[in-house]
Amino acid sequence: MRNTSEILNKASWIKSDDICPYVYVRTENHIIHPGSRHSQLDWFKDYPILYKNPLELKELEFAEQIYHIEHRAFGPSNMAMPRWVFYDCAVMPGFVAGFAMRSSVLPESLKKNLRWSKDSEWTPLSLFIIIPTMAKGEWVAHNLCSVNSFLEKEEQLYALGFLSKAFGLWYANVETCIGMTQWLSPARKLHSHYGPMEVLSSYSPVHSHAKTLTYRLKVNTNCWLQFFTKEPDLEFLELYRPSGLMVEPKNESNLISIHHNIEKGTGPYFLSATEIAQKNLDESLTLYVPKT
């Protein structure tokens, strides 16, 4: 199968029996038919899923390990998540997904960087938090991080962050995904690859970082493979055309001006994943509008 083999070439770690996707979820929030909405995607369907229940005291260590990754990844930007936010706002309404590695085979580079114990069979390597909203089929992607953010390049597991979010979206049959990311964050390169990315807010002063992009996308697994192949997204170019406006990620007055356009209803405006992948994070980006 082309899909699977393309991934295996670039992210060979995924075929290891010592790595598996996990879902940290209370029993009532289990998804009844994981993956049924995106059944044409064969990436995750054969993997056994490791389930962890946040309400079981014996699983506390797994939570501490998740916190450890999150604090290391977000500590430098002063956005580490308070424990009550994780519990009240993430784990109670939604769930956490990611990949875990069998603790007995953790390489030294990971042992040095992670909270781990040989008494825990599995050690988490990434986390993606997703929360359902009141709108039907719509979820909020609340947090994404992976150990890659604090490993040397040669020690990283390529696409760990990308595949963690892909797994969560696939698992929960997510139709529409909202998310928030800082304009200059490398995460923008990942988030734009799950479907055409509509800009809901280009300037978000209600957030602690005003230069935050709020986006919404209809999950479209047809374009996920392009994260690996770097092929242009032809489906996007068929449906959207340049609007004539450019967004300048470092320029606050430009972000505010674009936001006024959004409020006036001259959009909706979309970003191209192909263009985001090709450009540096501080370069201007074309805003696209639907052709019809």
Ligand X SMILES: CC(C)(COP(=O)(O)OP(=O)(O)OC[C@H]1O[C@@H](n2cnc3c(N)ncnc32)[C@H](O)[C@@H]1OP(=O)(O)O)[C@@H](O)C(=O)NCCC(=O)NCCS
**Out of 103, 123, 185, 274, the residue judged to bind ligand X by CB under 6 A:** 185
How many other C-beta atoms can be found within 10 angstroms of the C-beta atom of residue 33? 8
Q: How many binding residues for ligand X (CB under 6 A)?
A: 18
94 binds ligand X (CB under 6 A): no
CB of 236 to ligand X, least distance (A): 17
**Out of 103, 123, 148, 202, the residue judged to bind ligand X by CB under 6 A:** 148
**Out of 130, 140, 144, 287, the residue judged to bind ligand X by CB under 6 A:** 144
114 binds ligand X (CB under 6 A): no
287 binds ligand X (CB under 6 A): no
272 binds ligand X (CB under 6 A): no
**Out of 26, 68, 137, 158, the residue judged to bind ligand X by CB under 6 A:** 158
Q: State how far the Cα of 171 lies from the Cα of 191, in Å rounded to an integer.
A: 17
Q: State how far the Cα of 248 lies from the Cα of 113, in Å rounded to an integer.
A: 35
146 binds ligand X (CB under 6 A): yes
CB of 161 to ligand X, least distance (A): 2
Site string for ligand X, 45-64 (x = CB under 6 A): --------------------
Residue closest to ligand X (Cβ): 161
189 binds ligand X (CB under 6 A): yes
Find the part of the chain contacting ligand X (CB under 6 A) among 41-49, 99-107, 146-154, 206-214.
146-154
169 binds ligand X (CB under 6 A): no
Q: Which is nearer to ligand X, 150 or 289 (CB)?
A: 150
Per DSSP, the residues of the chain read -HHHHHHHHH-GGGG-TTEEEEEE--GGG--SSTTSTTTT--SSTTSPPEEE-TT-GGGHHHHHHHHHHHHHHHGGGT-PPPHHIIIIIIITTSEEEEEEEEGGG--HHHHHHS---TTSSEEE-EEEEEEE-SSTTEEEEEEEEEGGGGS-GGG--TTHHHHHHHHHHHHTT-SEEEEEEETT-TTHHHHGGGS-EEEEES--TTSSSSSEEEEEEE--GGGTTHHHH----HHHHHHEEEEEEEE-TT-HHHHHHHHHHHHHT----EE-HHHHHHS-TTS-EEEEEE--
**Out of 86, 122, 162, 240, the residue judged to bind ligand X by CB under 6 A:** 162
**Out of 190, 213, 262, 285, the residue judged to bind ligand X by CB under 6 A:** 190
Q: Which is nearer to ligand X, 185 or 202 (CB)?
A: 185
171 binds ligand X (CB under 6 A): no
Comparing CA positions, the residue from 165, 164, 278 lying closest to residue 231 is: 278
Which residues contribute to the site for ligand X (CB under 6 A)? 73-74, 144-146, 148-149, 158-162, 181, 185-187, 189-190
